Structure 1
Amino acid sequence: MKGRSLLGLTISLTILCTCSLAVFANSDRYPTDAELKKLRLDLEKQINLLQQITRKDPPEINQLRTLRSAWSKVDPGVVSFLGSYRALEEGKFIYPSNTKGRVCIIDTYLMGRGGSTAESNGILFTVGSVSNGTIRTTNNHVFIQKGDYLGDTYVQKDEARLYGYNLIGSLKPPSVTHIPGFNINYLPDWVKQEIIQKFKEAGCTASLPNRR
């Protein structure tokens, strides 16, 4: 039985690794409602695996509760999505912004090192709008949730797919000394500056909201 469990985990990890190579690209289109219904079931199937490969940080979770509580008073729709998420070697960091109903997303992954774009260096910045309990991003992805688990859904070659993440902690803004999910020494300075600039221009923040 233990051998079967280990085999199942290995197969699941292989599937996740394969999917992770494509998940950060632009989606061909948004998944339909029917596709999202099926993908929600797929997310439930991934939860057991995500519990095994990722771990929550209790102090970080407490900080996140404080952040979410404060933002719930000014932008309740985005609150349940805020936080740091992990899946294998990939990270997803969802921040509030000064525009109601909008979130900022930083993805980090091991897809490459070097090249002339931030994406080829393993980091992607996008923004998304919260609608009907989902996030729709500017690159045609839709984020869905089940408890502390996040599903990044997208479409490639007319096939709707999902990549799952587990909530692990709170948020820190990108800076020259800190890029979420990265050993900062691996990133060229121009990549850091690009992400910081996009973060600021989109009105993103990791702070408590200003009183309105």
Structure 2
Amino acid sequence: MVPIIERLAADHPDAKIALHYRNELELLVSVMLSAQTTDVNVNRVTERLFEKYKRPEDYLAVPPEELERDIYATGFYRQKARALRATMAMLLEEFDGRVPRRLDDLTRLPGVARKTANVVAAELGDPQGIVVDTHVRRLSQRLGLTRQEDPVKIERDLQRLVPREYWGLFPHLLIWHGRRVCIARAPRCEDCVVNDLCPSSRV
């Protein structure tokens, strides 16, 4: 497992989260908004959003329709606005306005599923699981690391194989490799640095 990680890390030294944020609250909001849209799109929206909304209270101080307008371009804006407002209320009521660090607490926040919680925890420096998105699922299957389809079961398989100190980095490596080399329909196996370790390799 470590050779795969080391080779991918050497090939993708810039592998990190693509969302722009300056603090824990901006991180949480960005990840919540990223559902069903691109990171580039989220960054366009949050550039203005974060100048207006700096504290949990700010999200609750405006009418729901105003927040919906401000995040409209991310899609599913009504559901996202509802989740953001409910999350901000819970942060204020139960966490003194701070973003919790524990996965169990993060997943209690409205609109925060396990994947979002894993991203936030890892970015805050304490990965407690492994993020599984479409790239991580596809590459894990191609590399023979899992046969599962369910993200939670895939995560369980990966946690058994990936050393804990790499839990935060590993998904970024697979995501970037999945975007650049191991693409969905036509993987560029000839350009892959782990093709000799991959059971799905076509070279």
> Between Structure 1 and Structure 2, which shows a larger proportion of helix residues?
2
More strand by share: 1
TM-score > 0.5, shorter chain as reference: no
TM-score, L = length of structure 2: 0.29
